[in-house]
Amino acid sequence: MENKNIIQTETESRLNAIIETAIDGIITIDMKGIIETINPAAAKLFGFSKEEAIGRNVNILMPEPDHSAHDSYLENYQRTGVRKIIGIGREVKGKKKDGTIFPLLLSVSEVKLKDRIIYTGLIHDITELKEAENAYKKLNTELEERVQKRTAELFDAIKKLEETNKKQKQAEVEVRKALEKEKELNDLKSKFVTIASHEFRTPLSSILFSTSLIGKYAESGEKEKIDKNILRIKSAVNTLTGILNDFLSLSKLEEGIISNSPVSFDLPSLGEEIKEEMHPVLKESQNIMYKHTGSEVVNLDKAILKNILINLISNAIKYSEKGTIQFESIAKGKNITFTVKDQGIGIPEEDMPFLFSRFFRANNAGNIQGTGLGLNIVKRYVELLKGTINVESEIGKGTKFIIDIPNQS
């Protein structure tokens, strides 16, 4: 009996430690909606101390109409058993102590104890995701405005054509260019909306599903499964960040606000830095090997170069399941050569001519996530550095990217 009590005490201590250190908010309430426990993450999120929150109705964390209606939600569920949120994760609004309203993902579980029932709520703040979504909507609006502007230019060109026959040929050229620009912008807007909505939906669904599972595993103290789902959430957030960075990089390149600003730096040190940064995202059966030959100090735009190499190495990791990713730099004379080689799925020969096009993805990419923008951005960055990029690939054996950039010292 004493051993059983010791084991039970250790289990409870472990569960309490998990709840207290969880990155998401965890709140428990009784059958009347009174807060019994609130972990530090939830207290910080809502701006209440534990002492201020415990013993009060959970509706203090809700804006209207949920604030007034919450007690009736509980009573209706306890009377009818019809679930409207319990056991069903969904997006709701939360209210901080200072009155700030913010979006969150809420998953509520019913826990049956020996003599009573409590409800456990798992809370994940999605403010940053909503801000990213709004940023995409703003960019979409800007694209529409650009289309309208191009259409106006088209009408102006037509008017000029009608006003004079002498400028007929020039007007026809302007009309053709305006039409091509309008079609290009329409295609860009359409692809943007389609890809953004699809690529965001998958990681958001993963986050929602994982938060629901964490709530269930927290009840039984299954730390390994909780940690696994936390890693899944982090991976989904990293995916969203990568997608957002692709679209922001494309936007900056389109607007011409990125310029080539070379500085002197130690190239092998940068290579080792990139290798260390990419190590945490390697799959279990992968490793990175870096090698440098030649002069160590070079004169290039360090930020652009790092973006190019991280993008290529990320692709090598994504499109291969195992093996060594070889990353090499050679600085000889006025030329610097970089190679990134993997042992992945390879690129079909018929896809090679379109590899650096916007939104293009190879036929064998399957369900591997991606926006189709990465290599387009890489090529444009390489051209900013006055360099060239080439590809060698064989299906089932891997792909090798070769970049030649002039040393601007």
pLDDT tens readout for residues 251-284: 666 666 777 889 999 999 999 999 998 888 888 8
Confidence of residue 215 (pLDDT cuts 50, 70, 90): low
pLDDT of 230 above 90:
no
Which is nearest to 270 in space by CA: 219, 316, 331, 227? 331
pLDDT at 319: 87
- Residues 115-143: what's their mean pLDDT? 83
Q: What mean pLDDT value characterizes the chain?
A: 79
Question: What is the pLDDT, as a whole number, of residue 315?
Answer: 87
Q: Which residues contact 279 (CB under 8 A, 6 or more apart)?
A: 288
Which among 339, 382, 375 is positioned nearest to 360, based on CA atoms?
375
The pLDDT tens digits for 43-56 are 999 999 989 999 99
Which pLDDT value is given to residue 148? 85
> What is the pLDDT confidence band of residue 125, given thresholds at 50, 70 and 90?
confident
β-strand pairing of 335-341 with 398-406:
antiparallel
Sequence spans of domains, the chain:
2-125, 129-255, 263-406
Element at 140 (helix H, strand E): helix 127-163
- Assign domain 2-125 to its CATH superfamily: PAS domain (3.30.450.20)
H or E element in which residue 176 lies: helix 168-220
Could you read off the pLDDT of 298-319 as tens digits, one per residue? 999 998 898 899 889 988 988 8
Full DSSP string of 214-282: HHHHHHHT-HHHHHHHHHHHHHHHHHHHHHHHHHHHHHHHHHT------EEEEHHHHHHHHHHHHGGG-
**Residue 367 contacts residue 376 (beta carbons within 8 Å):** no
Residue 1 pLDDT > 60: no
Assign 20 to helix, strand or coil.
helix
pLDDT value at residue 198: 47
pLDDT at 165 over 70: no
Residue 297 has a pLDDT of: 94
Q: Quick one: pLDDT band at residue 197, thresholds 50, 70, 90?
A: very low
Q: Residue 354: which pLDDT band, with cuts at 50, 70 and 90? A: confident
Domain 263-406 in CATH 3.40.50.300:
no
Tell me which amino acid residue 318 is: K
Is the pLDDT reported for residue 18 higher than 70?
A: yes
- Strands, sheet with 286-294, edge to edge from the N-terminal-most edge strand: 286-294, 323-332, 335-341, 398-406, 388-394
